[in-house]
Structure 1
Amino acid sequence: SLDEMVHVAREMQRLGFTIPLMIGGATTSRAHTAVKIEPNYTNGPTLYVTDASRAVGVAGSLLSDELRDQYVEKVRQEYAEVRVHHGARRQVINLLSIEEARANAFKGEWQHYQPPKPKSLGVREFDGYPLADLVDFIDWTPFFHTWELAGSYPKILDDEIVGKEARQLLDDAKAMLQLIVEGNWLKARAVIGFFPAIAEGDDILVFEDEALTRPLTRLHHLRQQASKPPGQPNYALADFIAPNSSGLVDYVGGFAVTTGIGIEAHLDRFEKSHDDYSSILLKALADRLAEAFAECLHRRVRTEFWGYDPEETLGNDSLIREEYQGIRPAPGYPACPDHTEKATLFKLLSVEASTGIELTESFAMYPASSVSGWYFSHPSARYFNVGKIGRDQVTDYAIRKERPLEEVERWLAPQLVDGGR
């Protein structure tokens, strides 16, 4: 993750490294490198490389006795200018105290609401889910972004600049997709689960039984603290679950899917034949299939397994626009930005035993072509960005999670506001 890159830069500085640090990847940027990474590693040069094809040229400049010093100084001056411009653009964020934010929470009309009950409670596993059933759920727009082709599908196919390249890439992708499906190159596995739940403050208590006597776990969530215009609440995901005071029994779901099982054998084959293009293409398609699997299962959850919207007939474009009832937020993403909450999800669903998906020490999922998250059914449930939060909420969150404050601050670093409450 981007935060891990910052951590690595700090460790290189602490350990006295002087070698160049080259930054690249789909989520990286020149601005992030200049603002977040370079200031933490001053012993050696830090350089953003736009793509792998340019890495050789950058490395050549760094190895050249004639070019190195001038090149490094030029980059450092450019990054200093980026930081100045970035600082000038930063807006002052007006934060509420966490108490004020909670007072402005979303208020569900619980006295007029009956939470829909899933068809069955507990965990359900899927092994060898048909890949052919996932193809129609693929969202192709992010696929083109992987190749740094800007535009939305299908409009990108007629783009004056990149249209020809996009069409050729799509033809290649569909040809390989046919091989993947017909040859069973990848195995799709998943696990989903539904559990009785109630909200307690900003947390969600999960139970084994509807009498709420056998607790399973607690889901910790964060609340928006930015000051909002009148009538706009400060959301936390717990707002979409009935509180204990309502007297209702609500439900929460969880899921984990992967289409990355079996990919390594094919990547090894491409590596041995020096076929980098096919290797990248396969990884990109596996990622798209994983997202398609998550979308496919979520539809079955809404119409079948939870069944709160059995008459849904949305097409794929409407699914991509998320025009359905309910949400499936993922730990590490804007509505629940704490990656460590994946550990709670994985334990609750026995994800590793059920699917083979593992969590790394930085809470990334392996195989990489995996998706996991929570299911919420409330008709007002929506995606939102927690955004910046104050020190008061971080301290409260650390207490609720029973984790050291320093550890929590590290994982929530992108959310912290310096000088926050």
Structure 2
Amino acid sequence: MRILVVGSGGREHAMCWAISGSPFLTKLFCAPGNAGIEREAECVSIAADDYDGLVAFCIDKVIDFVVIGPEGPLVDGLVDKLGDAGIQSFGPNAAAATLEGSKVFAKDFCIRHNIPTASYAHFTDADTAKAYIRKQSLPIVIKTDGLAAGKGVFIAERINQAMDIVDRIMIDGVFGKSGKEIIIEECMIGQEVSFFTLTDGDVILPMISAQDYKRVGEGDTGPNTGGMGACSPAPIIDDLLSIKIINEIISPTIAGMAAEGRKFRGVLYAGLMITDSGPKVIEYNVRFGDPECQALILLLKSDFLSALIATTNEKICNIHLNWHDYTSLCVVMASRGYPGSYQKNSVINKISEIESDDVVVFHAGTSWDREGRLLATGGRVLGITALGKNIVQAREKVYSAINKIDWPEGFNRHDIACHALNL
């Protein structure tokens, strides 16, 4: 099969890495890709949001199947556009992708279908939002309604901080149309986990869980990012809790979407808080997480491409996923200054020296210069990912590898998965 992967991040590199080993693959393309993806696929210079260009490329190259990585193209309806051209693709259509595209829709959906989530209120103007905040106990969570690359969620611990966040989103417009409406919700206490399920809209196939570390600083401090690391499986998830999550959250979500005429087909990524009163929905995502995908893909023994195609063709009941009995850990190396401003085109050395059978470097914001040097071109740049018999061994492998990389302009968190060890 001739396959196109859409995207340029670490998640898309992990997908290409997995798909490249499929016995059903004849040719793999990635648009636009990055320096690392070039090892697995032929990269083509078409942006992930150039939808007409992507459709034209698929027709020209007789692409059999498209795997869409980022949320933006899914929310914008790339699956629908490809379908109109007779091209199969993995992921939900625009109607179903609203589950991630609008937090207001997602929260209201949870209420309609009795799915546990944090209490909240929805606002379309700053003054009303501020009046509400003055009556609430702190800390409080403020979220943009639309997509914000993982940076549209804020935890305010002081009144003046909360007011400033509302102004930045709704008055200054730092998130554009994504911040025209906001959600303000209670700050839940517990452990956050990422729960992934493949579904064809009727049958659900749970995947392995993961835990994401979103905040930029050690000890989960500082602003939110797209993700600074992940471990899989999530240490807190056991069989009983997994069943509870499926029964109380995943199944009602899939059934509810179908009942509302938004049949969901693809991967449902539920961001959950495991509270003392049980699991609750933080947010829904309609694609694989980044960097969770990098961590879980190393654990997958089954053919990744076959699972995606079966999901799309509503034959998911024919698929059984097998997983390695290991722990996988991904630590993100980012450009110093991220998630704020950062230097671009700094040189990274000694990457090739650290990879082995159980240590893989997934690229995100990278490119090659004319001299063949690896450059950091984005905020999140590398995902150093390793397998271990347990978290301790996986951490040792990842951080040992990171210490060998020569990149003074990069940084990473040193405490990924430490909470599971009580460190």
Q: TM-score range by the shorter chain?
A: under 0.3
TM-score (norm 2): 0.28
Larger radius of gyration: 1
TM-score (norm 1): 0.28
Name the one with the larger helix percent.
Answer: 1
